[in-house]
Amino acid sequence: MTIEYLKRGKSESQRAKDDAKTRTIVEATLNDIETRGDAAVRALSKKFDSYSPASFRLSQDEIDMLIAKLSQQELADIEFAQEQVRNFAQAQKDTMRDLEVEMLPGVVLGHKNIPVQSVGCYVPGGKFPMVASAHMSVATASVAGVPRIIACTPPWQGKPNNAVIAAMHLGGAHEIYVLGGIQAVGAMALGTETIDPVHMLVGPGNAFVAEAKRQLYGRVGIDLFAGPTETMVIADDTVDGEICATDLLGQAEHGYSDPENPTHRSHRIGQLGGLRRGDPVRRLWWDVRGRQRYRIRTCAGDDQPG
């Protein structure tokens, strides 16, 4: 028995075309931001997010107002998570000791660990708000002693995500901007009339954000070249369908282009038919299942080729 595909994703050639199109769009957009500065950033924000405030940078009053909308439990959860991240980051930093030794009279060798002078943290916050990204970028930069930490997150339906803003502020961001996509990354790296450029970019994002970081590498430092999240779950008929779907959804949150690849020995599991009607996991599952890079397949046994 050959592998049966219940749904096929995009072909390799189509994905290559998409990637080439993304590269072209990002290059043109970054050139526009470098040339026109704030005007380009505002035009992009209006086009993609329908957002054009008097200032993209949040004032302290605006930050306080957004944080006040969170429940005490939500704030406590954010503070607890950041405490864990800070404690581990500090433990890591404590292992990175400066060294200075006189090898011969007058010949001193050594090294010092010096934080970068400014960092731009991108935190997804539109359709896929990722509060943890603020912990892992802003809070860790704070522990490292970075003198200037700026953070960008996109708006969703005309406003930023309250929890993301709280995490940025509590993590130690000195400047918080409600900006998303290429315009955020480009503004932080290239600078505009109102945003001074940074020395390093960190944080995840969609294909356009990742490509923008790739193209800006060299002009600024970056944390890493991050591609789409690729996930495979191999399951048989005994698996709990809800757990299977939840594991996939946990990674699919990163964007519509992330390839998820469940491989099953059961049509029932392949269709995730065990999910209850009205269940939030079921609704999310069918949204993700429709993505163009998503594949679902069944096979007869363990020795079937991929």
pLDDT tens digits, residue range 45-59?
999 999 999 999 999
pLDDT of 122 above 90: yes
Amino acid at 113: N
Q: Residue 25: its pLDDT value, please?
A: 97
Q: Which two tokens stand for residue 167?
A: 């995490």
Q: Which two tokens stand for residue 279?
A: 């269940």
CA distances from 19 to 109, 156, 175, 227, 266 (A): 46, 25, 32, 11, 33
Q: How does strand 99-104 pair with strand 107-111?
A: antiparallel
Q: What is the mean pLDDT of residues 222-251?
A: 74
Per-residue pLDDT reduced to its tens digit, 180-212: 999 999 999 999 999 999 999 999 888 899 999
Rounded CA gap, 213 and 202, in Å? 9
> How many CB atoms neighbour CB 47 within 10 A?
12
Q: Residue 265: its pLDDT value, please?
A: 44
pLDDT of 291 above 70: no
The residue written with tokens 């992330």 in the block is: 258
Per-residue pLDDT reduced to its tens digit, 132-142: 999 999 999 99
Q: What percent of the chain stands above pLDDT 90?
A: 62
Band (pLDDT 50/70/90 cuts) for residue 268 is: very low
Band (pLDDT 50/70/90 cuts) for residue 1 is: very low
Band (pLDDT 50/70/90 cuts) for residue 111 is: very high
> How many CB atoms neighbour CB 212 within 10 A?
30
Q: Residue 277: its pLDDT value, please?
A: 45
